[in-house]
Chains A and B, each alone.
Chain A
Amino acid sequence: AQTVTQSQPEMSVQEAETVTLSCTYDTSESDYYLFWYKQPPSRQMILVIRQEAYKQQNATENRFSVNFQKAAKSFSLKISDSQLGDAAMYFCAYRRATSYDKVIFGPGTSLSVIP
């Protein structure tokens, strides 16, 4: 069975600094998608970034980038120039690239941003 692990329950970062959130997953599939979702306090969960397993190039979205290591089954999120609005729960998620399969979420990392 596929699993997603986030080993850092809580992290903090100084404003304007860089922080990396870790995620590892277990799967025997070769074609899948990985996601990082952000859930701010009392606000809706939104997609931060997405990586397709067959693409070797790491995805980037403005200040957010990932380090995707397929062989190591690692998918870390780097947030550059951290802002107060980045404070949130961050969930790493996995799904097979096949119809009607469930998304598996990691337990989440709570990120605090220190002014």
Chain B
Amino acid sequence: KAGVTQTPRYLIKTRGQQVTLSCSPISGHRSVSWYQQTPGQGLQFLFEYFSETQRNKGNFPGRFSGRQFSNSRSEMNVSTLELGDSALYLCASSVSPGLQGWEQFFGPGTRLTVL
């Protein structure tokens, strides 16, 4: 069974640009969560999607948005990039909220560098 995949793996953008990151969950998984990982702030929750609906959102500005498609694939978008958005963005999938002990399976991440 293929794991969680994220594309692209590496991305370099300049301030003010926008970026879209993609996540394909494990087959059969319907819940996708996004996290931002930085050395200073650690792992911070961005949002969670289930059945194409955002179910929960972390404390990030409106420049961060996401969506989920009917095949459970998810994208996140960051508009008007700032230097502080440089981070590893992790996607995690799970079968469904509450099932299998809430275990999440993480992708390899997308390393975003904002210049």
Contacts and interface: CB of A to CB of B under 8 A. Distances in A.
A108 B38 CA distance: 12
A99 B55 contact: yes
B58 A102 contact: yes
B43 interface: yes
A100 B42 contact: no
A35 B43 CA distance: 14
Interface residues of B, number: 26
Contacts of B33: 102-103
Contacts of A106: 42
Nearest to A43: B108
Contacts of A91: 43
A45 B45 contact: no
Given A91-B43, A107-B42, A108-B42, A102 B102 contact: no
10 contacts: A33-B101, A37-B106, A45-B90, A50-B102, A100-B55, A101-B56, A102-B48, A102-B56, A103-B33, A103-B104
Given A99-B55, A105-B43, A105-B44, 19 more contacts: A35-B102, A43-B108, A44-B107, A47-B104, A47-B105, A50-B101, A52-B101, A91-B43, A99-B98, A100-B48, A100-B97, A102-B33, A102-B45, A102-B56, A102-B58, A103-B104, A104-B45, A105-B42, A108-B42
Interface of B: 3-4, 33, 35, 42-45, 48, 50, 55-56, 58, 90, 92, 97-98, 101-109
